[in-house]
Chain A
Protein backbone atom coordinates (compact mmCIF):
# COMPACT_ATOMS: atom_id res chain seq x y z
CA UNK A 1 0.00 0.00 0.00
CA UNK A 2 2.77 2.44 0.93
CA UNK A 3 4.55 1.64 -2.32
CA UNK A 4 1.55 2.84 -4.27
CA UNK A 5 1.78 6.30 -2.75
CA UNK A 6 5.40 6.78 -3.71
CA UNK A 7 4.75 5.52 -7.22
CA UNK A 8 2.55 8.50 -8.02
CA UNK A 9 4.46 10.63 -10.49
CA UNK A 10 3.89 14.24 -11.40
CA UNK A 11 1.04 14.75 -13.79
CA UNK A 12 1.96 13.62 -17.27
CA UNK A 13 -1.20 14.64 -19.07
CA UNK A 14 -1.61 18.05 -17.47
CA UNK A 15 -4.97 18.42 -19.14
CA UNK A 16 -5.97 21.05 -16.60
CA UNK A 17 -4.15 23.61 -14.57
CA UNK A 18 -4.43 27.12 -13.25
CA UNK A 19 -2.26 30.04 -12.25
CA UNK A 20 -3.75 29.89 -8.79
CA UNK A 21 -1.53 26.92 -8.03
CA UNK A 22 1.45 28.59 -9.65
CA UNK A 23 1.46 26.08 -12.50
CA UNK A 24 1.15 27.27 -16.09
CA UNK A 25 -1.80 25.57 -17.76
CA UNK A 26 -0.91 23.10 -20.48
CA UNK A 27 -3.91 21.93 -22.44
CA UNK A 28 -1.95 19.69 -24.82
CA UNK A 29 -3.99 16.58 -25.42
CA UNK A 30 -2.54 13.48 -23.84
CA UNK A 31 -5.01 11.14 -25.52
CA UNK A 32 -6.10 8.34 -23.26
CA UNK A 33 -2.79 8.11 -21.33
CA UNK A 34 -4.41 9.57 -18.24
CA UNK A 35 -7.08 6.86 -18.19
CA UNK A 36 -4.69 4.01 -18.95
CA UNK A 37 -2.38 5.19 -16.15
CA UNK A 38 -5.34 5.53 -13.81
CA UNK A 39 -6.59 1.97 -14.17
CA UNK A 40 -3.05 0.65 -13.71
CA UNK A 41 -2.75 2.45 -10.38
CA UNK A 42 -3.01 0.16 -7.30
CA UNK A 43 -4.71 2.94 -5.36
CA UNK A 44 -7.39 3.39 -8.01
CA UNK A 45 -7.87 -0.37 -8.31
CA UNK A 46 -8.44 -0.46 -4.55
CA UNK A 47 -10.87 2.47 -4.94
CA UNK A 48 -12.95 0.67 -7.54
CA UNK A 49 -13.21 -2.53 -5.54
CA UNK A 50 -13.99 -0.55 -2.34
CA UNK A 51 -16.73 1.42 -4.03
CA UNK A 52 -18.32 -1.75 -5.42
CA UNK A 53 -18.17 -3.57 -2.07
CA UNK A 54 -19.45 -0.52 -0.21
CA UNK A 55 -22.31 0.00 -2.64
CA UNK A 56 -23.47 -3.62 -2.50
CA UNK A 57 -23.37 -3.81 1.31
CA UNK A 58 -24.95 -0.37 1.69
CA UNK A 59 -27.81 -1.27 -0.67
CA UNK A 60 -28.47 -4.58 1.09
CA UNK A 61 -28.45 -2.90 4.51
CA UNK A 62 -30.74 -0.05 3.44
CA UNK A 63 -33.23 -2.28 1.64
CA UNK A 64 -33.47 -4.88 4.41
CA UNK A 65 -33.68 -2.27 7.17
CA UNK A 66 -35.98 -0.02 5.16
CA UNK A 67 -38.34 -2.77 4.04
CA UNK A 68 -38.34 -4.37 7.49
CA UNK A 69 -39.27 -1.09 9.19
CA UNK A 70 -41.90 -0.35 6.55
CA UNK A 71 -43.58 -3.74 7.10
CA UNK A 72 -43.52 -3.16 10.88
CA UNK A 73 -45.01 0.32 10.48
CA UNK A 74 -47.72 -1.03 8.18
CA UNK A 75 -49.15 -3.22 10.98
CA UNK A 76 -51.50 -0.45 12.20
CA UNK A 77 -49.93 -0.29 15.65
CA UNK A 78 -50.20 2.69 17.97
CA UNK A 79 -47.39 5.21 17.70
CA UNK A 80 -46.77 4.64 13.99
CA UNK A 81 -46.09 8.34 13.39
CA UNK A 82 -43.74 8.45 16.37
CA UNK A 83 -41.65 5.52 15.10
CA UNK A 84 -41.79 6.80 11.53
CA UNK A 85 -40.28 10.11 12.66
CA UNK A 86 -37.49 8.31 14.51
CA UNK A 87 -36.64 6.25 11.42
CA UNK A 88 -36.60 9.30 9.16
CA UNK A 89 -34.88 12.04 11.15
CA UNK A 90 -31.30 11.00 10.17
CA UNK A 91 -32.14 12.06 6.59
CA UNK A 92 -32.39 15.67 7.75
CA UNK A 93 -28.89 15.63 9.24
CA UNK A 94 -25.56 16.38 7.58
CA UNK A 95 -23.22 13.48 6.76
CA UNK A 96 -20.59 15.50 8.64
CA UNK A 97 -22.63 15.28 11.86
CA UNK A 98 -23.27 11.58 11.26
CA UNK A 99 -19.57 10.99 10.66
CA UNK A 100 -18.53 12.93 13.77
CA UNK A 101 -20.81 10.90 16.04
CA UNK A 102 -20.23 7.48 14.47
CA UNK A 103 -16.46 8.02 14.59
CA UNK A 104 -16.85 8.27 18.37
CA UNK A 105 -19.11 5.22 18.49
CA UNK A 106 -16.56 3.20 16.53
CA UNK A 107 -13.62 4.18 18.73
CA UNK A 108 -12.27 0.73 19.66
CA UNK A 109 -11.36 1.79 23.22
CA UNK A 110 -14.44 3.52 24.54
CA UNK A 111 -17.12 3.37 21.87
CA UNK A 112 -19.70 0.72 21.08
CA UNK A 113 -17.25 -2.02 22.14
CA UNK A 114 -17.68 -1.06 25.83
CA UNK A 115 -21.46 -1.16 25.45
CA UNK A 116 -21.30 -4.57 23.78
CA UNK A 117 -19.18 -5.84 26.70
CA UNK A 118 -21.78 -4.59 29.17
CA UNK A 119 -24.59 -6.49 27.46
CA UNK A 120 -22.43 -9.61 26.99
CA UNK A 121 -22.28 -9.44 23.20
CA UNK A 122 -18.48 -9.59 23.19
CA UNK A 123 -18.40 -11.55 19.94
CA UNK A 124 -19.60 -8.39 18.14
CA UNK A 125 -16.60 -6.39 19.35
CA UNK A 126 -14.38 -5.18 16.55
CA UNK A 127 -11.54 -2.73 15.87
CA UNK A 128 -14.00 -0.99 13.48
CA UNK A 129 -12.41 1.94 11.63
CA UNK A 130 -8.94 1.19 13.02
CA UNK A 131 -8.45 -2.01 11.00
CA UNK A 132 -8.19 -2.39 7.23
CA UNK A 133 -10.45 -5.46 7.32
CA UNK A 134 -13.35 -3.84 9.20
CA UNK A 135 -13.15 -0.12 8.37
CA UNK A 136 -15.45 -0.38 5.35
CA UNK A 137 -18.15 -2.08 7.46
CA UNK A 138 -18.06 0.84 9.87
CA UNK A 139 -18.71 3.21 6.98
CA UNK A 140 -21.55 0.99 5.72
CA UNK A 141 -23.26 1.01 9.13
CA UNK A 142 -23.04 4.81 9.46
CA UNK A 143 -24.25 5.35 5.88
CA UNK A 144 -27.14 2.90 6.33
CA UNK A 145 -28.09 4.63 9.59
CA UNK A 146 -28.44 7.86 7.66
CA UNK A 147 -30.09 6.68 4.43
CA UNK A 148 -32.19 3.58 5.24
CA UNK A 149 -35.11 5.82 6.23
CA UNK A 150 -35.35 6.82 2.58
CA UNK A 151 -36.03 3.18 1.64
CA UNK A 152 -38.50 2.93 4.49
CA UNK A 153 -40.44 5.96 3.24
CA UNK A 154 -40.59 4.58 -0.30
CA UNK A 155 -41.63 1.07 0.76
CA UNK A 156 -44.19 2.37 3.24
CA UNK A 157 -45.77 4.54 0.54
CA UNK A 158 -45.84 1.46 -1.70
CA UNK A 159 -47.36 -0.81 0.95
CA UNK A 160 -50.06 1.74 1.77
CA UNK A 161 -50.94 2.08 -1.91
CA UNK A 162 -51.87 -1.61 -2.10
CA UNK A 163 -55.68 -1.73 -2.10
CA UNK A 164 -57.22 -3.79 0.71
CA UNK A 165 -59.43 -5.50 -1.90
CA UNK A 166 -56.34 -7.21 -3.30
CA UNK A 167 -55.53 -8.88 0.02
CA UNK A 168 -59.21 -9.65 0.60
CA UNK A 169 -59.48 -11.33 -2.79
CA UNK A 170 -56.44 -13.48 -2.02
CA UNK A 171 -57.90 -14.41 1.37
CA UNK A 172 -61.21 -15.37 -0.22
CA UNK A 173 -59.23 -17.63 -2.54
CA UNK A 174 -57.90 -19.34 0.59
CA UNK A 175 -54.31 -18.03 0.56
CA UNK A 176 -52.51 -17.91 3.90
CA UNK A 177 -51.08 -14.60 5.20
CA UNK A 178 -47.54 -15.79 4.50
CA UNK A 179 -48.48 -16.74 0.96
CA UNK A 180 -50.18 -13.40 0.35
CA UNK A 181 -47.03 -11.65 1.53
CA UNK A 182 -44.78 -13.70 -0.75
CA UNK A 183 -47.00 -13.89 -3.81
CA UNK A 184 -48.96 -10.62 -3.74
CA UNK A 185 -47.09 -8.04 -1.68
CA UNK A 186 -43.45 -8.74 -2.56
CA UNK A 187 -43.90 -8.71 -6.37
CA UNK A 188 -45.65 -5.35 -6.07
CA UNK A 189 -42.54 -3.95 -4.34
CA UNK A 190 -40.29 -4.69 -7.32
CA UNK A 191 -40.44 -1.28 -9.07
CA UNK A 192 -39.92 0.50 -5.74
CA UNK A 193 -36.91 -1.68 -4.97
CA UNK A 194 -35.45 -0.82 -8.37
CA UNK A 195 -35.98 2.92 -7.76
CA UNK A 196 -34.38 2.62 -4.32
CA UNK A 197 -31.39 0.72 -5.75
CA UNK A 198 -30.77 3.37 -8.39
CA UNK A 199 -31.22 6.43 -6.16
CA UNK A 200 -29.18 5.00 -3.27
CA UNK A 201 -26.69 3.41 -5.68
CA UNK A 202 -25.83 6.74 -7.25
CA UNK A 203 -25.54 8.35 -3.81
CA UNK A 204 -23.20 5.55 -2.82
CA UNK A 205 -20.99 5.94 -5.92
CA UNK A 206 -20.38 9.61 -5.17
CA UNK A 207 -20.22 9.38 -1.37
CA UNK A 208 -17.62 11.83 -0.11
CA UNK A 209 -18.50 13.62 3.14
CA UNK A 210 -18.83 10.52 5.28
CA UNK A 211 -15.54 9.01 4.07
CA UNK A 212 -13.76 12.36 4.42
CA UNK A 213 -14.92 12.79 8.02
CA UNK A 214 -14.74 9.20 9.29
CA UNK A 215 -11.61 7.69 7.72
CA UNK A 216 -10.27 9.94 4.94
CA UNK A 217 -9.81 6.75 2.94
CA UNK A 218 -7.75 4.95 5.58
CA UNK A 219 -6.34 2.93 7.15
CA UNK A 220 -4.09 2.53 4.10
CA UNK A 221 -6.51 2.66 1.20
CA UNK A 222 -9.06 0.40 2.94
CA UNK A 223 -11.90 2.89 2.58
CA UNK A 224 -10.59 5.07 -0.24
CA UNK A 225 -13.10 5.71 -3.03
CA UNK A 226 -12.87 7.32 -6.48
CA UNK A 227 -15.00 10.20 -5.17
CA UNK A 228 -12.43 10.97 -2.45
CA UNK A 229 -9.35 10.24 -4.55
CA UNK A 230 -10.55 12.70 -7.22
CA UNK A 231 -10.55 15.43 -4.59
CA UNK A 232 -7.23 14.39 -3.06
CA UNK A 233 -5.56 14.19 -6.48
CA UNK A 234 -6.67 17.70 -7.44
CA UNK A 235 -6.61 19.63 -4.17
CA UNK A 236 -3.86 17.87 -2.22
CA UNK A 237 -1.49 16.49 -4.88
CA UNK A 238 -2.04 18.99 -7.73
CA UNK A 239 -2.57 16.09 -10.15
CA UNK A 240 -5.24 17.86 -12.21
CA UNK A 241 -5.14 15.49 -15.15
CA UNK A 242 -5.61 12.48 -12.91
CA UNK A 243 -8.40 14.19 -10.97
CA UNK A 244 -10.16 15.07 -14.21
CA UNK A 245 -9.85 11.45 -15.39
CA UNK A 246 -11.38 10.14 -12.15
CA UNK A 247 -14.14 12.74 -12.44
CA UNK A 248 -15.02 11.43 -15.91
CA UNK A 249 -14.98 7.80 -14.75
CA UNK A 250 -17.36 8.79 -11.92
CA UNK A 251 -19.63 10.63 -14.33
CA UNK A 252 -19.78 7.62 -16.66
CA UNK A 253 -20.58 5.23 -13.78
CA UNK A 254 -23.40 7.45 -12.56
CA UNK A 255 -24.71 8.02 -16.10
CA UNK A 256 -24.84 4.26 -16.79
CA UNK A 257 -27.06 3.94 -13.73
CA UNK A 258 -29.18 7.06 -14.10
CA UNK A 259 -29.85 7.55 -17.83
CA UNK A 260 -31.85 4.32 -18.31
CA UNK A 261 -33.74 5.17 -15.12
CA UNK A 262 -34.59 8.67 -16.39
CA UNK A 263 -35.86 7.24 -19.68
CA UNK A 264 -37.93 4.65 -17.79
CA UNK A 265 -39.34 7.29 -15.40
CA UNK A 266 -40.29 9.77 -18.12
CA UNK A 267 -41.77 7.09 -20.37
CA UNK A 268 -44.07 5.77 -17.64
CA UNK A 269 -44.97 9.40 -16.85
CA UNK A 270 -46.24 9.78 -20.43
CA UNK A 271 -48.28 6.59 -20.11
CA UNK A 272 -50.09 7.91 -17.06
Chain B
Protein backbone atom coordinates (compact mmCIF):
# COMPACT_ATOMS: atom_id res chain seq x y z
CA UNK B 1 0.00 0.00 0.00
CA UNK B 2 2.67 2.48 -0.95
CA UNK B 3 0.79 4.81 -3.28
CA UNK B 4 -2.81 5.39 -4.21
CA UNK B 5 -2.18 4.10 -7.73
CA UNK B 6 -1.04 0.70 -6.49
CA UNK B 7 -3.91 0.33 -4.02
CA UNK B 8 -6.40 0.77 -6.85
CA UNK B 9 -5.59 -2.70 -8.18
CA UNK B 10 -8.86 -4.59 -7.65
CA UNK B 11 -7.53 -8.11 -7.08
CA UNK B 12 -5.61 -7.71 -3.85
CA UNK B 13 -7.02 -9.69 -0.90
CA UNK B 14 -7.30 -6.58 1.27
CA UNK B 15 -9.53 -5.08 -1.42
CA UNK B 16 -11.81 -8.13 -1.36
CA UNK B 17 -12.07 -7.92 2.42
CA UNK B 18 -12.98 -4.23 2.15
CA UNK B 19 -15.74 -5.05 -0.33
CA UNK B 20 -17.01 -7.95 1.76
CA UNK B 21 -17.24 -5.75 4.85
CA UNK B 22 -18.91 -2.94 2.90
CA UNK B 23 -21.51 -5.42 1.65
CA UNK B 24 -22.20 -6.69 5.18
CA UNK B 25 -22.71 -3.15 6.48
CA UNK B 26 -24.86 -2.28 3.45
CA UNK B 27 -27.02 -5.36 4.14
CA UNK B 28 -27.68 -4.08 7.67
CA UNK B 29 -28.80 -0.66 6.38
CA UNK B 30 -30.91 -2.18 3.60
CA UNK B 31 -32.65 -4.77 5.82
CA UNK B 32 -35.66 -2.53 6.62
CA UNK B 33 -36.00 -1.65 2.93
CA UNK B 34 -36.17 -5.35 2.12
CA UNK B 35 -38.79 -5.82 4.85
CA UNK B 36 -40.93 -3.02 3.41
CA UNK B 37 -40.52 -4.34 -0.12
CA UNK B 38 -41.49 -7.95 0.61
CA UNK B 39 -44.32 -7.07 2.99
CA UNK B 40 -46.01 -4.12 1.30
CA UNK B 41 -46.49 -5.94 -2.01
CA UNK B 42 -48.22 -8.94 -0.44
CA UNK B 43 -51.92 -9.54 0.03
CA UNK B 44 -53.29 -9.79 3.57
CA UNK B 45 -53.60 -13.58 3.19
CA UNK B 46 -49.97 -13.92 2.19
CA UNK B 47 -48.67 -11.85 5.10
CA UNK B 48 -48.57 -15.11 7.03
CA UNK B 49 -46.32 -16.09 9.85
CA UNK B 50 -44.63 -18.95 8.03
CA UNK B 51 -42.94 -17.23 5.10
CA UNK B 52 -42.64 -13.55 6.07
CA UNK B 53 -39.15 -13.12 4.57
CA UNK B 54 -39.95 -14.53 1.14
CA UNK B 55 -40.74 -12.46 -1.90
CA UNK B 56 -44.47 -12.11 -2.65
CA UNK B 57 -45.74 -14.90 -4.91
CA UNK B 58 -48.22 -12.59 -6.63
CA UNK B 59 -47.16 -8.97 -6.04
CA UNK B 60 -50.18 -6.74 -5.46
CA UNK B 61 -50.66 -3.02 -4.95
CA UNK B 62 -53.74 -3.45 -2.77
CA UNK B 63 -51.87 -2.53 0.39
CA UNK B 64 -50.72 0.74 -1.16
CA UNK B 65 -54.28 1.53 -2.19
CA UNK B 66 -55.52 0.86 1.35
CA UNK B 67 -52.69 2.77 2.99
CA UNK B 68 -53.16 5.71 0.65
CA UNK B 69 -56.90 5.89 1.27
CA UNK B 70 -56.30 5.97 5.02
CA UNK B 71 -53.30 8.30 4.98
CA UNK B 72 -54.27 10.71 2.18
CA UNK B 73 -55.89 13.36 4.45
CA UNK B 74 -52.87 13.43 6.75
CA UNK B 75 -50.48 13.42 3.78
CA UNK B 76 -52.28 16.58 2.68
CA UNK B 77 -52.05 17.99 6.25
CA UNK B 78 -48.31 17.39 6.17
CA UNK B 79 -48.00 19.29 2.89
CA UNK B 80 -50.01 22.19 4.36
CA UNK B 81 -47.66 22.14 7.35
CA UNK B 82 -44.31 21.70 5.64
CA UNK B 83 -44.59 24.21 2.80
CA UNK B 84 -45.31 27.38 4.82
CA UNK B 85 -43.18 26.32 7.80
CA UNK B 86 -40.17 25.61 5.58
CA UNK B 87 -40.47 28.83 3.55
CA UNK B 88 -41.04 31.11 6.56
CA UNK B 89 -38.24 29.63 8.67
CA UNK B 90 -35.83 29.86 5.72
CA UNK B 91 -36.72 33.51 5.11
CA UNK B 92 -36.32 34.41 8.81
CA UNK B 93 -33.06 32.49 9.02
CA UNK B 94 -31.74 34.32 5.99
CA UNK B 95 -32.58 37.74 7.49
CA UNK B 96 -31.09 36.76 10.87
CA UNK B 97 -27.98 35.34 9.26
CA UNK B 98 -27.53 38.56 7.28
CA UNK B 99 -27.79 40.80 10.33
CA UNK B 100 -25.65 38.56 12.56
CA UNK B 101 -22.86 38.28 9.99
CA UNK B 102 -22.87 41.75 8.39
CA UNK B 103 -24.29 44.13 11.03
CA UNK B 104 -22.55 42.92 14.12
CA UNK B 105 -24.32 45.07 16.70
CA UNK B 106 -23.23 45.10 20.34
CA UNK B 107 -24.04 41.74 21.90
CA UNK B 108 -24.49 40.05 18.52
CA UNK B 109 -22.32 37.12 19.60
CA UNK B 110 -24.34 36.64 22.78
CA UNK B 111 -27.59 36.66 20.80
CA UNK B 112 -26.12 34.13 18.40
CA UNK B 113 -24.94 31.84 21.21
CA UNK B 114 -28.37 31.93 22.85
CA UNK B 115 -29.98 31.23 19.48
CA UNK B 116 -27.70 28.24 18.99
CA UNK B 117 -28.64 26.86 22.39
CA UNK B 118 -32.23 27.04 21.20
CA UNK B 119 -31.32 24.42 18.61
CA UNK B 120 -30.59 21.90 21.37
CA UNK B 121 -33.42 22.60 23.83
CA UNK B 122 -35.46 19.41 24.28
CA UNK B 123 -38.99 19.85 22.93
CA UNK B 124 -40.30 18.48 26.22
CA UNK B 125 -38.82 21.41 28.14
CA UNK B 126 -40.99 23.95 26.36
CA UNK B 127 -44.00 21.74 25.68
CA UNK B 128 -46.21 22.80 28.60
CA UNK B 129 -45.82 26.56 28.13
CA UNK B 130 -46.14 26.02 24.37
CA UNK B 131 -49.51 24.29 24.75
CA UNK B 132 -50.74 27.03 27.09
CA UNK B 133 -49.64 29.79 24.71
CA UNK B 134 -51.20 28.11 21.68
CA UNK B 135 -54.46 27.71 23.60
CA UNK B 136 -54.40 31.35 24.58
CA UNK B 137 -53.89 32.54 21.00
CA UNK B 138 -56.46 30.01 19.72
CA UNK B 139 -54.00 28.05 17.60
CA UNK B 140 -54.05 24.81 19.56
CA UNK B 141 -55.17 21.65 17.77
CA UNK B 142 -54.53 22.54 14.15
CA UNK B 143 -51.91 22.96 11.47
CA UNK B 144 -51.43 26.77 11.83
CA UNK B 145 -50.23 26.35 15.44
CA UNK B 146 -47.86 23.62 14.32
CA UNK B 147 -46.55 25.86 11.52
CA UNK B 148 -45.85 28.64 14.03
CA UNK B 149 -44.06 26.19 16.36
CA UNK B 150 -41.83 24.85 13.60
CA UNK B 151 -41.05 28.32 12.28
CA UNK B 152 -39.88 29.43 15.73
CA UNK B 153 -37.97 26.20 16.44
CA UNK B 154 -36.36 26.32 13.00
CA UNK B 155 -34.86 29.78 13.49
CA UNK B 156 -31.60 28.59 15.17
CA UNK B 157 -30.51 26.11 12.50
CA UNK B 158 -31.59 28.27 9.56
CA UNK B 159 -29.85 31.30 11.09
CA UNK B 160 -26.69 29.27 11.68
CA UNK B 161 -26.51 28.00 8.10
CA UNK B 162 -27.16 31.46 6.58
CA UNK B 163 -24.76 33.20 8.96
CA UNK B 164 -21.95 30.87 7.89
CA UNK B 165 -22.98 31.25 4.25
CA UNK B 166 -23.01 35.06 4.33
CA UNK B 167 -19.75 35.17 6.30
CA UNK B 168 -18.02 34.23 3.03
CA UNK B 169 -19.38 37.36 1.29
CA UNK B 170 -16.65 40.06 1.43
CA UNK B 171 -17.50 42.98 3.70
CA UNK B 172 -16.26 45.37 0.95
CA UNK B 173 -19.30 44.48 -1.16
CA UNK B 174 -21.61 45.53 1.68
CA UNK B 175 -19.55 48.69 2.31
CA UNK B 176 -19.70 49.66 -1.36
CA UNK B 177 -23.48 49.27 -1.42
CA UNK B 178 -23.76 51.36 1.74
CA UNK B 179 -21.69 54.17 0.26
CA UNK B 180 -24.03 54.06 -2.73
CA UNK B 181 -26.82 54.84 -0.27
CA UNK B 182 -28.49 51.43 0.03
CA UNK B 183 -30.44 50.76 3.23
CA UNK B 184 -30.02 47.73 5.49
CA UNK B 185 -32.93 45.96 3.84
CA UNK B 186 -31.96 47.31 0.41
CA UNK B 187 -28.56 45.66 0.68
CA UNK B 188 -30.21 42.39 1.68
CA UNK B 189 -32.71 42.60 -1.16
CA UNK B 190 -30.33 43.66 -3.95
CA UNK B 191 -26.91 42.35 -2.91
CA UNK B 192 -27.34 39.24 -0.74
CA UNK B 193 -30.65 37.72 -1.78
CA UNK B 194 -29.62 37.26 -5.44
CA UNK B 195 -26.61 35.17 -4.38
CA UNK B 196 -28.43 33.25 -1.62
CA UNK B 197 -29.77 30.39 -3.73
CA UNK B 198 -27.25 27.71 -2.59
CA UNK B 199 -27.89 28.64 1.05
CA UNK B 200 -31.63 28.43 0.51
CA UNK B 201 -31.34 25.00 -1.11
CA UNK B 202 -29.53 23.60 1.95
CA UNK B 203 -31.92 25.25 4.41
CA UNK B 204 -35.12 24.36 2.53
CA UNK B 205 -34.11 20.71 2.19
CA UNK B 206 -33.10 20.49 5.83
CA UNK B 207 -36.28 22.13 7.13
CA UNK B 208 -38.54 20.18 4.78
CA UNK B 209 -37.06 16.87 5.93
CA UNK B 210 -37.03 17.71 9.65
CA UNK B 211 -40.58 19.06 9.74
CA UNK B 212 -42.02 16.28 7.56
CA UNK B 213 -40.46 13.66 9.85
CA UNK B 214 -41.28 15.33 13.18
CA UNK B 215 -43.56 13.52 15.62
CA UNK B 216 -43.53 14.95 19.17
CA UNK B 217 -44.92 18.43 18.40
CA UNK B 218 -47.33 16.91 15.89
CA UNK B 219 -48.82 14.32 18.27
CA UNK B 220 -49.09 16.89 21.07
CA UNK B 221 -50.45 19.91 19.22
CA UNK B 222 -52.91 18.50 16.68
CA UNK B 223 -56.28 16.80 16.91
CA UNK B 224 -56.96 13.65 14.81
CA UNK B 225 -58.45 15.34 11.72
CA UNK B 226 -55.41 17.64 11.58
CA UNK B 227 -52.77 14.93 12.14
CA UNK B 228 -49.66 15.12 9.99
CA UNK B 229 -48.62 11.87 8.35
CA UNK B 230 -46.15 10.66 11.01
CA UNK B 231 -48.88 10.68 13.66
CA UNK B 232 -51.35 9.05 11.27
CA UNK B 233 -48.83 6.31 10.42
CA UNK B 234 -48.48 5.48 14.09
CA UNK B 235 -52.27 5.50 14.42
CA UNK B 236 -52.50 3.15 11.45
CA UNK B 237 -50.28 0.60 13.17
CA UNK B 238 -52.56 0.77 16.19
CA UNK B 239 -55.83 0.33 14.33
CA UNK B 240 -54.72 -2.26 11.75
CA UNK B 241 -52.67 -4.44 14.08
CA UNK B 242 -52.27 -7.59 11.96
CA UNK B 243 -52.27 -5.80 8.61
CA UNK B 244 -48.51 -5.56 8.29
CA UNK B 245 -48.79 -5.13 4.53
CA UNK B 246 -50.76 -1.87 5.01
CA UNK B 247 -48.43 -0.69 7.77
CA UNK B 248 -45.39 -1.19 5.55
CA UNK B 249 -47.05 0.46 2.56
CA UNK B 250 -47.93 3.36 4.88
CA UNK B 251 -44.34 3.51 6.13
CA UNK B 252 -43.12 3.76 2.55
CA UNK B 253 -45.63 6.51 1.70
CA UNK B 254 -44.51 8.46 4.78
CA UNK B 255 -40.84 8.05 3.95
CA UNK B 256 -41.24 8.80 0.24
CA UNK B 257 -41.10 12.64 0.04
CA UNK B 258 -37.92 13.09 2.12
CA UNK B 259 -36.42 9.99 0.48
CA UNK B 260 -37.00 11.38 -3.02
CA UNK B 261 -35.38 14.65 -1.99
CA UNK B 262 -32.45 12.74 -0.52
CA UNK B 263 -32.00 10.75 -3.73
CA UNK B 264 -32.06 13.86 -5.93
CA UNK B 265 -30.34 16.42 -3.68
CA UNK B 266 -28.51 14.27 -1.13
CA UNK B 267 -25.33 16.30 -0.93
CA UNK B 268 -27.23 19.44 0.14
CA UNK B 269 -28.99 17.38 2.79
CA UNK B 270 -25.63 16.23 4.17
CA UNK B 271 -24.41 19.84 4.24
CA UNK B 272 -27.38 20.76 6.46
CA UNK B 273 -26.70 17.71 8.61
CA UNK B 274 -23.07 18.61 9.22
CA UNK B 275 -23.91 22.29 9.81
CA UNK B 276 -25.91 21.22 12.84
CA UNK B 277 -22.79 19.69 14.37
CA UNK B 278 -21.17 23.17 14.57
CA UNK B 279 -17.70 21.61 14.44
CA UNK B 280 -16.33 18.72 12.47
Contact = CB atoms under 8 A, between A and B. Distances in A.
B28 interface: yes
A101 B234 CA distance: 11
Interface bin, chain B? 35 or more
A69 B128 CA distance: 41
A213 B215 CA distance: 10
Interface bin, chain A? 35 or more
A251 B125 contact: yes
A213 B123 CA distance: 17
Contacts of B25: 65, 68-69, 72, 83, 87
Nearest to A164: B4
A221 interface: no
A158 B15 contact: no
A55 interface: no
Given A20-B135, A110-B52, A86 B30 contact: yes
A78 B19 CA distance: 9
A88 B269 CA distance: 10
B209 A92 contact: yes
Q: Could you tell me the dominant secondary structure of chain B's interface residues? A: helix
B49 to A, nearest CB: 5
Given A114-B52, A153-B270, A206-B124, A94 B215 contact: yes
B123 to A, nearest CB: 7
Nearest to A194: B279
Nearest to A234: B128
B168 interface: no
Contacts of A192: 280
Given A93-B258, A104-B39, A230 B22 contact: no
Given A100-B237, A195-B278, A247 B122 contact: yes
Contact of B254 (A97, A115, A244, A246): A97
B32 interface: yes
A99 B215 CA distance: 12
A208 B219 CA distance: 11
B53 A114 contact: yes
A138 to B, nearest CB: 13
A243 interface: yes
Interface in A63-111: 65, 68-69, 72-73, 75-79, 83, 85-105, 109-111
A240 B233 CA distance: 28
Interface in A152-183: 153-154, 157-158, 164, 171, 177
B277 interface: yes
Nearest to A202: B120
Interface stretch (A5-13, A36-44, A123-131, A262-270): A262-270
A88 B263 CA distance: 11
Contact of B49 (A85, A109, A205): A109
Interface in A16-63: 16, 18, 20
Interface of A: 16, 18, 20, 65, 68-69, 72-73, 75-79, 83, 85-105, 109-111, 114-115, 118, 145, 149-150, 153-154, 157-158, 164, 171, 177, 191-192, 195-196, 199, 202, 205-206, 208-209, 212-213, 227, 230-231, 234-235, 240, 243-244, 246-248, 250-251, 254-255, 258-259, 261-262, 264-266, 268
